[in-house]
A and B are shown apart, each in its own frame.
Chain A
Amino acid sequence: QKEVEQNSGPLSVPEGAIASLNCTYSDRGSQSFFWYRQYSGKSPELIMFIYSNGDKEDGRFTAQLNKASQYVSLLIRDSQPSDSATYLCALLSYQLTFGKGTKLSVIP
């Protein structure tokens, strides 16, 4: 059974701060990792994916992967109120397995 663990939150950060979202997983065979953002009442939308150990940056978002420690994280720099949403971590080996999500609140 592939497990993907996320702190459900809510995680509250002030506007302009760095939000750090973490995800651990149990399946060492997982090759690809995804972060989705889901606004309340909406569908998940892809933010980033990462395959290799290390950091991957896209604008204000940085995904970090450490396969040896089996964790993947998402950093959001200069957090904005519009970043308030639930963030879903997902891993892909054969099928996509989702964590339950972390709710982020950015306080103006």
Chain B
Amino acid sequence: IAGITQAPTSQILAAGRRMTLRCTQDMRHNAMYWYRQDLGLGLRLIHYSNTAGTTGKGEVPDGYSVSRANTDDFPLTLASAVPSQTSVYFCASSDSLGDTQYFGPGTRLTVL
């Protein structure tokens, strides 16, 4: 593994289903983030974590949850997906909250 990986690459999901997007980094970065990117709205922060064991809410947290059990992994869960959650999701990491962020390749999610 080099950098940040995300899985799956893409997914089509029925509304109401539960879905977990996975993110793993091997840079030993303390901080990790989840963004969604929508046409015309740009990148918006969903949740973040500044260190293992802690998480915080970003600009658009509703309908999403995260956990940070260890340094490397930061999964994003949609408990009951809705069509408005159709988006491209990017995971990012940085050495600390104030440092340069590096992005994973993204997950394209479609909720029908």
Interface residues of A (CB under 8 A from B): 32, 34, 42-46, 49, 88, 92, 94-96, 98-101
**B63 contacts the other chain (CB 8 A):** no
Interface residues of B (CB under 8 A from A): 33, 40-45, 48, 58, 90, 97-98, 100-106
Which of A45, A49, A92 gathers the greatest number of chain B CB atoms within 10 Å?
A92
Q: Across the interface, do B98 and A32 meet the contact criterion of CB distance under 8 Å?
A: yes
Q: 8 more A-B contacts (CB under 8 A) besides A95-B45, A96-B45, A96-B101?
A: A43-B90, A44-B103, A45-B103, A46-B100, A88-B42, A95-B97, A99-B42, A100-B42
Q: Which residues of B contact A46 (CB under 8 A)?
A: 100-102
Q: Tell me, in angstroms, the Cα distance from A82 to B16 when the chains sit together.
A: 41
Q: Which residues of B contact A45 (CB under 8 A)?
A: 103
Which of B48, B58, B97, B103 gathers the greatest number of chain A CB atoms within 10 Å?
B103
- Chain A residue nearest in CB terms to B38: A100
Q: Which residues of B contact A101 (CB under 8 A)?
A: 42
**Interchain Cβ contacts under 8 Å between A and B, 24 examples:** A32-B98, A34-B100, A42-B105, A42-B106, A43-B90, A43-B104, A43-B105, A44-B43, A44-B90, A44-B103, A49-B100, A88-B43, A94-B97, A95-B58, A95-B97, A96-B45, A96-B101, A98-B42, A98-B43, A98-B44, A99-B42, A100-B40, A100-B41, A101-B42
